[in-house]
Structure 1
Amino acid sequence: MKRLQDFTVGDTFELVREVDPYRPVYYAGASGDYNPIHIDPAVGRAAGYQGVILQGMCTFSWLSDTCVGYLGDPARLLRLRARFTKPVQVGDVIRIEGRCVAVEGAAVKLELSARNQRGEDVLKGAVAEARVGER
């Protein structure tokens, strides 16, 4: 497991996920979010999309997963926030990039971005706070 001294300001990390056609259905089953815009392509098209859109919290969970991959332990992640800016659709490839912006005492602060394959932000203002060790 990574130790406090293994975290350095300027570290970068990323996660890439493709939204397969079943992802909104799987997430609906896991979360209970059966909003028709997530599982019925006709409803998604009526709303102006190519079909269904992914649940925002699924995208947010990928943001969390990116942080945990860098931090090495889910218990270290204290806070995570982001603003939803664009719906994620089936077929989108989401690239989440993170950077360590501060290591202060036992606290590690991260900034993240999440963009689709067209370079459009799907989440903005993403920041995370973690506690890595005692100092």
Structure 2
Amino acid sequence: MKRLADFRPGDTFVLTRTCDRYRPVYYAAASGDFNPIHVDPEVGRQAGFPGAILQGMCTLAWAADACVGYFDDPARIRRLRARFSRPVNVGDTVTVTGRCVAVEGGTVRVELSAVNQHGQEVLKGAVAEASFGEER
């Protein structure tokens, strides 16, 4: 398990996920978010998208998954914040990139970016913090 001394400002990490056609349905089943724009491609098209779009909270969960991999312990994450800036369409590939910006007082802070395969941001202003105040 990683310790506070294992983190340095400038460290980076990456996670890539693709939104296959079933992902919005799987996420709906897990979250209860069965909004038709997420599970019915025709409703998505009527709303101006190519089809169904992924739930924003699933996109945020992908960012959280990237952080869990970096921090090495989900229980250490104390804060995760982002603004949804663009829908993720079925077929999109999202790359979450994190960069450690501070290691201070037992807290590791990272800034995140999440972009689709066209380089368009799907999350903005994303940050996460993990607490290492009590080393195990």
What interval of TM-score do these two structures reach, taking the shorter chain for normalisation?
A: over 0.9
* Cα distance between partner residues in 1 of 2:37 and 2:5: 45
SS in 1 for 2:24: helix
For each residue in 1:43-74, what CA deviation from the matched residue of structure 2 results, as whole angstroms up to 9, or x when unmatched? Answer: 00000011000000000000111111000000
The equivalent residue for 1:94 is 94
Q: Which runs of 5+ in 1 are unaligned?
A: none
For each residue in 1:12-42, what CA deviation from the matched residue of structure 2 results, as whole angstroms up to 9, or x when unmatched? Answer: 0010000001000000000000000000011
Within 5 A, what are the aligned runs for 1:4-15? 4-15=4-15
Within 5 A, what are the aligned runs for 1:1-135? 1-134=1-134
* Cα distance between partner residues in 1 of 2:104 and 2:72: 18
* Cα distance between partner residues in 1 of 2:60 and 2:109: 17
Aligned sequence identity (%): 67
- Aligned length, in residue pairs: 135
Kindly state the Cα deviation for residue 132 of structure 1 after the two structures are TM-superposed.
1.9
Please tell me whether the aligned partners of residues 105 and 134 of structure 1 are also in contact (alpha carbons under 8 angstroms): no
Amino acid at match of 1:12: T
Kindly state the Cα deviation for residue 116 of structure 1 after the two structures are TM-superposed.
0.1
Kindly state the Cα deviation for residue 111 of structure 1 after the two structures are TM-superposed.
0.2
Normalized against structure 1, the TM-score is what?
0.98
* Cα distance between partner residues in 1 of 2:51 and 2:134: 48
Kindly state the Cα deviation for residue 134 of structure 1 after the two structures are TM-superposed.
3.4
Please tell me whether the aligned partners of residues 109 and 127 of structure 1 are also in contact (alpha carbons under 8 angstroms): yes
* Cα distance between partner residues in 2 of 1:134 and 1:56: 33
Amino acid at match of 1:34: F
Normalized against structure 2, the TM-score is what?
0.97
* Cα distance between partner residues in 1 of 2:55 and 2:119: 20
Amino acid at match of 1:97: T
SS in 2 for 1:130: strand
* Cα distance between partner residues in 1 of 2:7 and 2:98: 13
* Cα distance between partner residues in 2 of 1:105 and 1:6: 14
